[in-house]
Chains A and B, each alone.
Chain A
């Protein structure tokens, strides 16, 4: 047994527990801003540690746990998301009535769940990681005590999340019944066609589809995104979704044979197409920025899942690359939303009027991040879409590229709508929109990374290629 394969997880678990203990030791009257910085630096250390895990490509605990470049890359995506979210929330926690210190600890535990998911090579380990993440999110979503909407979102997420977990678990148990194993590589060799396998795969798609908000399992996301505290919405939208992808890619590409079993690709590609269309079309009439971003993230899930269709390393590379830039752009957008919410107490897009004059930095970042999500060159979102659809087209499948690119151009309509209010209109009043230091760092980082990765995607692309190749 090689415990070093668990090093980054152990570090994260230690960090979370340390934060909890620190919360007990530190006087109640002190504010908890410092916790944010501790968490951010701790996560940075974990991030650095993960770099030493590249190139290991080993599994341990009887194949239950695998550390390949793919899992390491995915973990880095989650950690980057967590760092950005924590920094953007440093000042946000002050608005919380109670349990400020535990806020960061819970984020670290959710992250730990995701990291377990990325390295899990076995259905039960996947489920454990998934539940660690999901249950932590139940708490985090309802964290704004005394805010009815937050509690409502928490309850909704609890019920729907539990149902989806149950469905997923049922699907997994059927797979176990069919093969007598829970490890993914072994499943691949033992599965053959049977009607019950169809049921199992539909349930898996339902369970994972809930996490990545694939249409028609996306209904929860607008409500919960709207109600949850904004930094948590950001974390939910980016990291939890990326974790869903991390597992889905591994289970479907490595665990479920296409030939001689069930053609799950048909269902996945159908849902991908529908997701791209529905997500973008429904986002158009939204007036609340968080709901708009929710539908936009549904659409993004459609683009990403399309990468599965190529069934090879370039497609997975596209998904990996896209996850990273999706994280950065979305966190940037949500951070702006957090700041505007704090200053102006509103999430309505029309109230963003004049942000271009109030805070050009915020308005520019939001514009750039949204356009990156829309996939406008030379921003990173374009390169991500390019990698994904190029890989799919290389297999001779043309239609996802048409649907994807046309829908992403249509999405420009609702993204630009936000830009329209921010840049065209004058502010309605002269309340300032302050940008505290750590949040400013997040904003500048997301702005710079979004632009730089769009213009010069080479290094990240190569890293993603290496990660993707380790799967095959």
Chain B
């Protein structure tokens, strides 16, 4: 075992949190500096991993293996491939930015940053573990810090923050209960006693009956689907984001949600291909509901965070339909789009959080002309907005395009509906941005200063990724493809011959 890069990246925020516990509560700057430092380490290490990944070699790299619970076959197995690397990088990009987006948190900052660092570590752990058990441990670690952060630092608007926090928590946990039953069933069915293991790559080689795969995939779909805010399990998402403090909205919409999509692909598709094929048409239909229905609701929202909240539900529909296509192109698009949406929504929430912090309003009719007073924040909002509607040259154009190519072959009608929903997306994004940023100068906003110093970090970091990945899509797409193609190719025969529910409609 060489240099344990992934473990260090994972432990950095945890060590940071431990150190923070011994820092006096009133040393705000120190607390924030420590948080930034340790998330920075993780960010640098994940950049090293991303650009140090050897395409020629492929497969899992930076592998670490340590027998953890021998009795039941749990291994502390870390490793990243083309599917998990973009997610790892995304986590740390957003985690690092989230620390700076919380630079002005002065209410009990110590507790805040301890929880934030634990949250980041938890999310990171899910993406880099190759063991289902360890994956699950990290998966639920995140829920509790999330809840506490929402109820302490959240905001009460349309719903109280307690309601929002609890709704978010209960949805995720009930989903995870189904997921857990699915995971245990998978573990028990894959191998006989004595050979059992939680290693995902071993599970993928197990022979499981078709009916079992169909049953287990349904459980996983409920679990991961509710995390991904799949229709009809989506209603926690807008309420939750609206109630949450900026950093939590960023991490939740940006990466946590993506664990759902990641899990569906990594465990659902690669371990249970027959089950995935069986349920794919259902997923595709629900995906269209996500895309079209949530976009239309977003159109009617007057709270900026609700607009972005519903928009993120809508975008998850694209991920789902890309997944449901079950071909290399579609899955490539789904993963790339998770990355793209993560960057974009995190930037969106960071900027909304900044504007809200200054003006204390997110109510669109009360705002206007903010580009006069806050040009930098306006740039951030515009970039995020343009990315959201899929403007070429920004990060999300290529992924969405790829998804449509992949999905059109399989579901021409549904894909067409999804494509046309882009018009609605453009409509609500442009409408919201126009009302908030442009129009005549409003004197009541003159007192507010534009973003400066540390407040600019999220804009710079996320904004540059947005543009960079837009201009050089191969940076992202090659990586994703290197993970998806070798995994999916051997499964294509199974996928093509397996039956789909209702004959695929």
Residues of A within 8 A of B (CB): 356-357, 367, 371, 376-378, 382, 386, 389-390, 393-394, 398, 401-402, 405-406, 408-410, 412-413, 416, 419-420, 423-424, 454-458, 461-462, 465
Contacts and interface: CB of A to CB of B under 8 A. Distances in A.
B71 A461 contact: yes
Contacts of A389: 181, 184
18 contacts: A357-B108, A371-B144, A376-B143, A378-B140, A382-B140, A393-B181, A393-B188, A398-B181, A402-B178, A405-B178, A408-B177, A409-B176, A412-B173, A416-B144, A423-B152, A424-B152, A456-B69, A461-B69
Contacts of A409: 170, 173-174, 176-177
B143 A405 contact: no
B140 A393 contact: no
B174 A457 contact: no
Contact of A402 (B169, B173, B181): B181
Nearest to A389: B184
A12 to B, nearest CB: 31
Contact of B148 (A357, A413, A419): A419
B151 interface: yes
A457 B68 CA distance: 9
A377 B177 contact: no
A386 B173 contact: no
A386 B147 CA distance: 24
B467 interface: no
Interface in B126-145: 136-141, 143-144
Nearest to A392: B184
B187 interface: yes
Contacts of A408: 177
Given A390-B188, A423-B152, A405 B69 contact: no
A458 B180 contact: no
A405 B180 contact: yes
B61 interface: no
Contacts of B144: 367, 371, 376, 416, 419
Interface string B143-161: 1100110011000000000
User: Shortest 10 CB-CB distances between A and B: which pairs?
Assistant: A405-B177, A409-B173, A378-B137, A377-B137, A377-B140, A406-B177, A458-B69, A409-B177, A424-B151, A401-B181
Residue picked from B72, B143, B180, most chain A C-beta under 10 Å: B180
Nearest to B149: A423
B340 to A, nearest CB: 30
Given A406-B177, A409-B170, A377 B152 contact: no
A386 B184 contact: yes
A302 to B, nearest CB: 15
A456 B162 CA distance: 33
B382 interface: no
Interface of A is mostly: helix
Contacts of B108: 357
Contacts of B166: 413, 416
Contact of B68 (A382, A394, A412, A458): A458
Contacts of B176: 409
Contacts of A394: 188, 193
Contact of B169 (A412, A423, A456): A412
B185 interface: yes
B111 interface: yes
Contacts of B187: 390
B278 to A, nearest CB: 19
A161 B93 CA distance: 60
A412 B177 CA distance: 12
B70 interface: yes
A311 to B, nearest CB: 15
Contacts of A454: 137
Contacts of A377: 136-141
Contacts, number: 91
B107 to A, nearest CB: 11
Interface in B56-87: 68-72
B78 to A, nearest CB: 15
Nearest to A464: B71
Contacts of B147: 416, 419
A413 B188 CA distance: 30
B262 to A, nearest CB: 18
A356 B114 CA distance: 13
Nearest to B162: A420
A413 B176 CA distance: 15
B184 A393 contact: yes
Nearest to B215: A398
A455 B125 CA distance: 13
Given A412-B169, A416-B166, A465-B71, A401 B184 contact: yes
Interface string B109-125: 00100000000000000
Contacts of B140: 376-378, 382
B245 to A, nearest CB: 13
Residue picked from A356, A367, A386, most chain B C-beta under 10 Å: A386
Given A390-B188, A456-B68, A405 B141 contact: no
Contacts of B139: 377
Residue picked from B68, B141, B173, B184, most chain A C-beta under 10 Å: B173
Contacts of A386: 184
Nearest to B110: A360
A103 B74 CA distance: 45
B111 A356 contact: yes
A407 B277 CA distance: 31
Residue picked from B70, B108, B111, B148, most chain A C-beta under 10 Å: B148
B151 A420 contact: yes
B134 to A, nearest CB: 9
B308 to A, nearest CB: 25
Contacts of A456: 68-69
Contacts of B174: 406, 409-410
A378 B141 contact: yes
Contacts of B151: 420, 423-424
B233 to A, nearest CB: 14
Contacts of B136: 377
A76 to B, nearest CB: 19
A455 B111 CA distance: 23
B118 to A, nearest CB: 11
A393 to B, nearest CB: 6
Contacts of B141: 377-378
Given A405-B181, A458-B68, A458-B69, A423 B111 contact: yes
Contacts of A405: 177-178, 180-181
Contacts of A410: 170, 174
Nearest to B69: A458
Given A406-B177, A408-B177, A424-B152, 18 more contacts: A376-B140, A377-B141, A378-B138, A378-B141, A386-B184, A393-B185, A401-B180, A405-B177, A406-B174, A409-B174, A412-B173, A416-B169, A420-B151, A420-B162, A423-B111, A458-B68, A461-B69, A461-B72
Nearest to B154: A424
B410 to A, nearest CB: 32
B211 to A, nearest CB: 14
B106 to A, nearest CB: 15
Nearest to B187: A390
Contacts of A398: 181, 185
Contacts of A401: 180-181, 184
A315 B418 CA distance: 49
Nearest to A364: B21
B184 A390 contact: yes
A371 B143 CA distance: 11
A412 B176 CA distance: 13
B115 to A, nearest CB: 9
A419 B150 CA distance: 12
Residue picked from B111, B138, B140, B152, most chain A C-beta under 10 Å: B140
Contacts of A367: 144
Given A401-B184, A424-B151, A457 B173 contact: no
B309 to A, nearest CB: 22
A349 to B, nearest CB: 14
